[in-house]
Amino acid sequence: MRSSLKFNRISAADAISALNGLSGFIAVIFFVNDLILAGSLFVALSVLLDGFDGVAARKYGVRHEKGPQIDSIADTVSFCVAPATALYSAFYVPGAPYSPLSLLTVLASALIVFMGIVRLGTFCDEGHLIDHFSGLPTPAAAMVVLSSILVFREKGIVHSPYTGVGLAVVISMAMVLKIDYPKARGRLALISGLVLSYFIISALLLLEGVESVFLSVSPVFLLLSTALYAVLGPVYCSRIRDKSSCP
């Protein structure tokens, strides 16, 4: 049986989606070596790439109907497997596999992957056809999880592992709830891009050894920004429903 998708039919959008997945895989490599900030940088790059693939599809067109599937596969790597690996690497206690923290960490990591796959499967089926998200989008969920790890891990700003793991559980459930979230367009896309750019630049400088309070608080700012979207996104979507932005 001949494949319906050949290499010479890969569009610009497909290539960007593949780069998204590649960036997520690089993040996983950093996470398994406990390099949380470096890995989070690559996941943030994946979020930016995830936003550009749709733009590329609209501008340059598509060559097949497999684009949503390719995008969902890439998103599974970058926004499900990568943050789950980071959570496990940051909070699992190697010498105490049956401790409450270790067990909760394994559960939370598994939930991120499981709920994320369910969320992406639903979106792949119909989400690209509507003007809003149903359930918290996986890129936003991933950034909440990663920023909370950077804030609450042992080397973070506030050492509170149960807070980081508990938040991951809540975010995992939010991905599959039937709650509407606005897509990042217009002003929201601009704000999201600025927040991600601030984090990426700060992460690069911190990895280069530059010390600054302005740079060090970037995970806190990212956590607050993404958490606000998680909490207030449904409220915003509900308020503009009458204007047909969230039909």
With CA atoms as reference, report the closest residue to 214 among 223, 202, 225.
202
The answer to whether the Cα torsion of 63, 11, 30, 227 is positive or negative is: negative
In the predicted structure, residue 9 carries a pLDDT above the cut 60: yes
| pLDDT computed for residue 245 by the predictor | 44
Confirm whether 2 is domain-assigned: no
Look at residue 228 and tell me if it is in a domain. Answer: yes
- For 52, the domain range is 7-243
Give Cβ neighbours of residue 187 (< 8 Å, ≥ 6 apart): none
Are the C-beta atoms of 44 and 78 separated by less than 8 Å?
no
Total-model pTM: 0.88
Q: Structurally, how many domains does the chain consist of?
A: 1
The enclosing domain of 38 has a CATH number of 1.20.120
Q: 1 in a domain, yes or no?
A: no
pLDDT in tens, 172-231: 999 999 888 988 777 888 999 999 999 999 999 999 999 899 999 999 999 999 999 999
Residue that is written with structure tokens 């804030």 in the block: 151
In a domain, 206, yes or no: yes
In a domain, 120, yes or no: yes
Three-state secondary structure call for residue 168: helix
The 10s digit of each residue's pLDDT in 145-164 is 999 999 999 888 899 999 99
Length of the chain counted residue by residue: 247
Task: List, for residues 35-55, the tens digit of each pLDDT value.
Answer: 999 999 999 999 999 888 766
46 occurs within a structural domain:
yes
